[in-house]
Structure 1
Amino acid sequence: MSELKEGQKAPNFTAKDQDGNNVSLSQFIGKKVVLYFYPKDDTPGCTAEACDFRDNYQGLTAKGIVVLGVSVDDEKSHQKFVTKHSLPFTLLADTDQKIVEAYGVWGEKNMYGKKYMGTHRTTFLIDETGLISHIIKKVDTKNSTAQVLELL
């Protein structure tokens, strides 16, 4: 799979959210979408990022922006994460890794000298027509909303 680039059509997908509902990217045509990929529910960096989006959520929705978080955790894990941190947006369970693969964010990682496969933290901004307008590869977990807003 080749790397996605700005200006390309965002790959469509359907996945279960934290409540077991099917959510498809195509249902958000006509709105801007922040599609953010993160490694794991309730870990320090992922919590900081989710809470930053939570704390700035009203400002994002006021600009017509939909926030979707994606990790390979299951619906039950997402539900606990949403409840614990009062997250007002949708988290998608990509347990079969189809979305992370389609977006090119699944790959080898290295922590403390140990190599493993995992999700590379990446944020995609998708415009109203379904095209990728921006890709943020160096996500600042504590300021992820600011990173998004400065690109709009």
Structure 2
Amino acid sequence: MTDHTNLPADLPVPEDDGAAAHLPGMKLPHLELPGTGGAAIRLDALGAGRTVVYIYPLTGRPGTDLPDGWDSIPGARGCTPESCGFRDHHQDLLAAGAVSVFGLSSQDTDYQREVVERLHLPFQLLSDPARSLARALDLPTFEAGGRRLYKRLTLIIRGDAIEHVFYPVFPPNEHAGQVLAWLRDNPL
């Protein structure tokens, strides 16, 4: 079994392969994704201001093993600590100018509801099992355990366009603090 809340010290660091370089300035597609709050969230209609959407491969669950070789895939491990970081910095992110925060993965909504409850997340997780956003924006993905998964990245969305992208993200447990620092350094 794996402890999903702690990161091994020897995780491989992901390299910037340029797979997200095209994203700043892109308009969000007309795409509705189910949220853990029960309603669909339309990504091109998030409203004025900045929205933080952190995208991650998959969140582990206690008692369930991660895909074979998970810790050796650069950038794969760390979804639970990343989500906990956004939870712990949630109020600070809002105070720094984010109007909302969402997590997004290809896991289904029922799975994500359990994550929201278990981790006490004060924001919704969005479910994209068909990886519709990946196809619409040409987002980076990878294969593990016979599944195609999102590579970890974070979008700062302003209105209906991508203002800033964090990619690659490392270490994931410190990433919410990196986003917070960027928001504070780039006020509206």
Q: Which runs of 5+ in 2 are unaligned?
A: 1-18, 62-76, 184-188
Q: Deviations over 1:47-100 (max 9, x none)?
A: 010000000001112234111111111111001000000001110111221122
Whether the 8 Å CA contact 2:27–2:44 is kept in 1: the answer is no
Judging by fraction of residues, say which structure has more strand.
1
Task: Give 1:107's aligned residue.
Answer: 141
Does the Cα contact within 8 Å between 1:105 and 1:121 map onto a contact in 2? Answer: no
The AA in structure 1 aligned to 2:150 is T
- How far 1:120 moved relative to its partner? 0.6
Change (3 A) 1:83 1:62: same
Residue identity opposite 2:108 in structure 1: D
Instruction: Please tell me the root mean square deviation across aligned C-alpha atoms, in Å.
Output: 2.3
Structure 1 window deviating more from structure 2 (50-59 vs 141-150): it is 141-150
Which segments of structure 1 move beyond 4 Å, counting only runs of 4 or more?
none
Structure 1 residue 7: Cα displacement:
2.0
Q: How does 1:1-152 map to 2 (within 5 A)?
A: 4-42=22-60, 45-65=78-98, 66-109=100-143, 117-127=148-158, 129-140=159-170, 141-152=172-183
Distance across 1 between alignment mates of 2:119 and 2:146:
30
Rg larger in 1 or in 2? 2
Question: Which TM-score applies when normalising by structure 2?
Answer: 0.69
- Could you list the runs of 5+ residues in structure 1 that have no partner in the other structure? none
Contact 1:9 1:131 in 2 (8 A): yes
How many residues of Structure 1 are paired with residues of Structure 2 in the alignment?
147
Q: 1:145 to 1:107 in 2, by over 3 A?
A: closer
Instruction: Point out the more displaced range, 18-27 or 3-12.
Output: 3-12
Please identify, of 137-146 and 3-12, the stretch whose mean Cα deviation from structure 2 is larger. Answer: 3-12
Structure 1 stretch displaced more, 65-74 or 7-16:
7-16
